[in-house]
Amino acid sequence: NQTESSASTTSSEIDIGSSHHRYATIGSSTHPYLVCNNGEKSPSHNTKLVSTTNLLRSPPIIQQHHIEGICGNSSFGTRRLFTLDLNQSQFVPSQNINIKQRIENQHQIVGGGEIYQGELQVNQSVIPITIRRLLSNASVQSKISFFNEISLLTTLCHPNIIHAYGFCSEPSISLLIESSDATTIDLYQYLQHYKQAQPMETILYTTTVFFAVQISAALAYLESLNIYHRDIAARNCLVTTDLNIKLQDLAMCNEMYADDYVLITVANDIETRRPIRWCAWETICLNRYTTKSDVFSFGVLLWEILTMAERPHCLFDDDQVLLN
C-alpha cells in the first residue's frame, strides 16, 4: 500500500486484482477514485468495493451500438434495464410525512409550487425526502400537468435517477422525492471541492469515465421511454460517497445556481428561464426540447467534468451567449 498525505487531503491506493482504488478524504467524507484496466478480469466477489467495479465491467453491461463516443471501443458501456417497475403511483398518508423546512427559491416552479425538506416514516425507518407541493390555488391545467408528472416519475426505476416515492394529497397535492443526505453533494460542488483540495491535479481519467457512463446510462434509460430531461448539468447530478451518480432536476430551486437560469423570450413571446449556457440553439430560439437537445447538454456536462467545473462560455456575458 502506498499512502500520500497533505494538510487538507489524504489518499491511499490499494491493489485489488487488476484494479486500483484511490481514496481521497475531502472535508469529513471519504471518496473512492476507481482505476480499471480494460480487458482484465473482474476481481473476485469477496474483494472490497466490487460492486463499484462491476458497474464498469463487461458482463453486467450491455454495449449498445448507438452509444459510442468516448466509450465506443472500450469495455465501458451503457447499462440497459430489461425490467421496469411499473407499479401504480404510491399514495402516502399525510401522517407518515414530517415537513421540516421550506427551501427558498428565487425562481417560481413551473405551474406554481413550493419545495420543502422533510422526512418519510416507513415502519421504524425515517427517510429524508424532498417535497414538491402544488399550490392550492393552482390552475386546472397546472394540476393536470402535476398529476401527469407524478404518474411518470413514480414509474421510473433506474439506479442513476433520483427516486420518487409517491404522492400525498393533504394539505395539498405533493410529490415525494428521494433526498440527498449530509454526505451527498452535487457534481458541480464535488468537482469544486476536489479542485480546491488538490489544485495541481485533476480527477483520474477513469473516474471521469465512471461519472460519464452513469449519466449516459440514466439518459439512455429516459430516451428509451421517450422522456427528455431539459436541464442536464453537473448541478443536477448528485454524487454519493461511493461515487454513484443520481440524476435529479431540482437545481433551479437552489439559490446557488440562480445566475445559471436566464429570463429570455422564446417562441410565441413566452417569457421563461433557461440555462442558456447548457442549451441547444433550438431550445433557446424555438423553445423546442427533444432527447437530442439533452445530448447537447450532456456534451456541455462532459466539458464541465473535464475542466473541473468551469463555467461554460465564461468569457461571455449572457447577451453574448444568446447572440452567438
Q: Where on the phi/psi map is residue 39: left (φ > 0), alpha (ψ -120 to 50), or beta?
A: left
Instruction: Look at residue 140 and give its three-state secondary structure.
Output: helix
The single residue of 181, 186, 231, 269 carrying the catalytic annotation is: 231
Q: Which one, of 38, 46, 1, 47, lies nearest residue 22 by Cα?
A: 1
Q: Count CA within 13 A, CB hemisphere, residue 143.
A: 9
DSSP strand E in 58-170: where? Answer: 97-103, 113-122, 125-134, 164-168
- Annotated catalytic, 231? yes
Q: Where on the phi/psi map is residue 166: left (φ > 0), alpha (ψ -120 to 50), or beta?
A: left
Q: Which one, of 32, 40, 27, lies nearest residue 13 by Cα?
A: 32
The dihedrals phi and psi of 143, each to the nearest 5 degrees, come to -65, -40
Q: Which one, of 139, 113, 146, 97, lies nearest residue 253 by Cα?
A: 113
DSSP strand E in 18-150: where? Answer: 19-26, 29-36, 97-103, 113-122, 125-134
- 205's CB contacts (< 8 A; 6+ apart) are none
> Looking at the annotation, which residues are catalytic?
231
